[in-house]
Structure 1
Amino acid sequence: MQRTERLFALAEYLRGRRTGVTAETLAERFGVTIRTIYRDLDSLRDASMPVAAERGRGGGYALDRSYSLPPVNFTAREAALLVALGRFAIDMRLLPFTGTLESALDKVRSALSTSAQRELLDRLKELSFLGVPSLPSKASVRAAIERAWFEQQVLRITYVDGNFLETTREVRILSVVMDRHETRLDTQDVKGGERRPYRLDRIIQAEVVRPFEP
């Protein structure tokens, strides 16, 4: 089985299950190594498929149950407000999840008819928000944070504090706090259990390292 064919088969297999499946089981089913399965799962995530690791009995890898959503019909009024608020969040750099938000806004627009899209553009011209944007952050850092947050993975970050001291830690994200001028991650250190906030703009590197295991 070619890799592209295997990726499609893997996606459909996960879509058809109600419970998680272990990497070992997937490797046996598709006749590949566990390392290959991990690479395949990463490829599905890179293609925006919400593959998450579930813990406990019946756990393993599974697609988020909200992956297949029913059709939603927006009026131009509803879509205009959603798009305007989404654009405000992106422009103010409030969210680390900008890629997912932009994708969602594109889907809201594409769901509208041509006339409704024209009305949407007219309404957006009449609606504006003012504020002080949060400090900028790296796109690669935001992408790693988004994956770690939604998939409950351990995140390794390199952080520069107010004294310009650089440290590297492995943490799990407990919550994301968005203030007027900065976005903070409320985290727990994986090794020591210490709880500590980190400013998003001071994280210079971030990567997902493994699923979180309590």
Structure 2
Amino acid sequence: MNRTDRLYALVEDLRAVSPRLRTARELAQRYEVSVRTIERDIGALQQAGIPIYADVGRRGGYALDKTMSLPPLNFTPSEIVALAVALERSRGAPFEAAGRSALRKMMAAISERNAIATRDLAARVRLLDPPEQQQVPEIPSIIERAIEAGRAVRIGYLDRFGATSEREVEPMALLDGPNGWYIVAWCHLRGESRCFRLDRIRTATMTDLPIVDRTVDGHISDADGRRLRLRLVGL
């Protein structure tokens, strides 16, 4: 791990356990560097304006300012395992990495007793591996970044008949459909909104072209012209 990655990881580590303390020795062991290196890293973060404070003394350590973290959250083992199961069933889906990051933060924030109970419960859950998928691993993250950045994407798309076409599309939304994940996008080739299965996208490149703000209505056509009904994620 290079220094830049380690600095980001240190902040996330301290944020996950705040307001509890991490000692320099614990952090040094975790990141396989010297205590002196951790002290220099913490100093650099403090100079950059990150609100890390040091509690001196035999039981002291470093912590992120309490105002920069959430109060203790009383997630139950069942709630955390439910999220873990959902993540396992969503391998290769958009936002998978963000979901796993959230799960790690939840595990770090709960008590040791609840963490043990959560791991024991998770050990009683089994999932069957799905058949081998042909999805290109990088595609979901490229589409995810394009939606967040508001940029069009140039894709190579394989239709259900095995024909490949090059298209420039403007991602509008992500869709969890009966055959996996899709993107709802404005297709420049067809001049209308279409759905594209992520596992049929063979190549994807984010462009510098900003997308036009378009409304996704309750129905959409897939890349083969079939009409599909949409619903929103409930939050």
Task: Please indicate the TM-score interval, normalised by the length of the shorter structure.
Answer: 0.5 to 0.7
- Paired residue for 1:166? 164
- Paired residue for 1:176? 174
Following superposition, the deviation at residue 144 of structure 1 comes to: 0.5
Distance 1:139 1:132, change over 3 A: closer
RMSD: 2.9
Structure ranking higher on relative contact order (CA contacts 8 Å, 6+ apart)? 1
Deviations 1:70-117 (A, max 9, x none): 345123332222222222222xx4x23322222222222222222221
Deviations 1:27-48 (A, max 9, x none): xxxxxxxxxxxxxxxxxxxxxx
Q: Flag structure 1 segments of 5+ consecutive residues without an equivalent.
A: 9-67
CA distance in structure 1 between the partners assigned to 2:96 and 2:134 by the alignment: 12
TM-score by length of 2: 0.52
Contact 1:134 1:180 survives alignment (8 Å)? no
One-letter identity of the residue aligned with 1:70: L
- Paired residue for 1:143? 141
Equivalent residues, number: 146
Contact 2:87 2:96 survives alignment (8 Å)? no
CA distance in structure 2 between the partners assigned to 1:153 and 1:110 by the alignment: 35
Which has the larger Rg? 2
Alignment of 1:173-212 (within 5 A): 173-190=171-188, 193-210=191-208, 211-212=210-211
- Paired residue for 2:61? none
CA distance in structure 1 between the partners assigned to 2:191 and 2:151 by the alignment: 15
Contact 1:158 1:203 survives alignment (8 Å)? yes
Q: Flag structure 2 segments of 5+ consecutive residues without an equivalent.
A: 9-67, 214-235
Distance 1:98 1:69, change over 3 A: same
CA distance in structure 2 between the partners assigned to 1:202 and 1:69 by the alignment: 41
One-letter identity of the residue aligned with 2:77: A
Identity of aligned residues (%): 26
Contact 1:133 1:181 survives alignment (8 Å)? no
Deviations 1:116-161 (A, max 9, x none): 2111111112345669669442221111011112332211111112
One-letter identity of the residue aligned with 1:76: P
Q: Please give the secondary structure, in 1, of the residue aligned with 2:90.
A: helix
CA distance in structure 1 between the partners assigned to 2:78 and 2:181 by the alignment: 30
Contact 1:133 1:180 survives alignment (8 Å)? no
